[in-house]
Amino acid sequence: MRLSRPLYLFALVIWYTLVPSSSQASLLGLTPNLPTIDFSGSGIIDYSPDTGIIELTGDPSSLFAVEPFIFANFMGTGVNNNKNINIKFLVDNFGNVITGDSSSPDMIILGSIDTDGDGISDHNGTLLTAEVLNFGFLNGLATTDDVFDLHLSNVNGALAYLYNDQDLGIRIISEASIEYDNAFDNSFNTFWQAQAKGVIGATAPLAFDPIPTPIPPALWLWMAAMLTLLPGVKRAN
């Protein structure tokens, strides 16, 4: 049986709507604003398809703020004199963030810092914690850098007062390097690992919780199908 044109278009709409569509994500376009925390190129970012976990580790290097004015280097803390940034979060096979347990922060920054310049550490231990909301990525060419960015909320820790009523934005640069021949290649179906450096800073909170973006082709097809069917409905009346 051959479908009439209106029914054919309607069936095509159903097909595009129900069949899963792969999407190619891009950067979130965040610009980390003051106060900013830098971390150097000794950091590592990696992903395991077995667990779906992306993890970034690195050392915080410096904090810069204007109000109040702070320009200070991070120091170690505790018996082992540690300073560390650790970000760990879960994504699906397309790189979309899967929200985890909010009682366990996705980002933890440890260390100590002298914020008033008197030579005495003012904050020690857990300096910042936050939860990952969104993740963006841009795969560079073979000889260029990969870029990632993150939007985080629920900011806590000893330095959280610097980010009152603000979320955190992180921009990560993963430089092309012969040391990592399995760097990010725009896929979340295979393991990848690369060096990472970047900056953490303030960004505006989201007005609402992130929701999946509607598929534009399906939306346009629905509209086209309805417009095609309307003349037939009028003739039937």
Q: What are the boundaries of each domain within the chain?
A: 38-204
Rounded-to-integer distance, Cα 1 and Cα 3, Å: 6
Spatial CB neighbours of 207, under 8 Å, sequence gap ≥ 6: none
pLDDT at 101: 75
Question: In the predicted model, is pLDDT for residue 215 greater than 50?
Answer: no
CA-wise closest residue to 163 among 127, 112, 132, 136? 127
Q: Tell me the pLDDT tens digit for each residue of 49-66.
A: 999 999 999 999 999 999
Question: In the predicted model, is pLDDT for residue 99 greater than 70?
Answer: yes
Paired tokens of 166: 């603000």
CA-wise closest residue to 116 among 60, 72, 67, 162? 72
Q: Residues of the chain with pLDDT > 90: what percent?
A: 63
Rounded-to-integer distance, Cα 168 and Cα 61, Å: 17
Rounded-to-integer distance, Cα 51 and Cα 55, Å: 11
CA-wise closest residue to 213 among 13, 18, 23? 23
Burial class (CB in 10 A: 0-12, 13-18, 19+), 6: middle
Confidence of residue 17 (pLDDT cuts 50, 70, 90): very low
Q: Tell me the pLDDT tens digit for each residue of 23-36.
A: 445 999 999 999 99
pLDDT at 4: 53
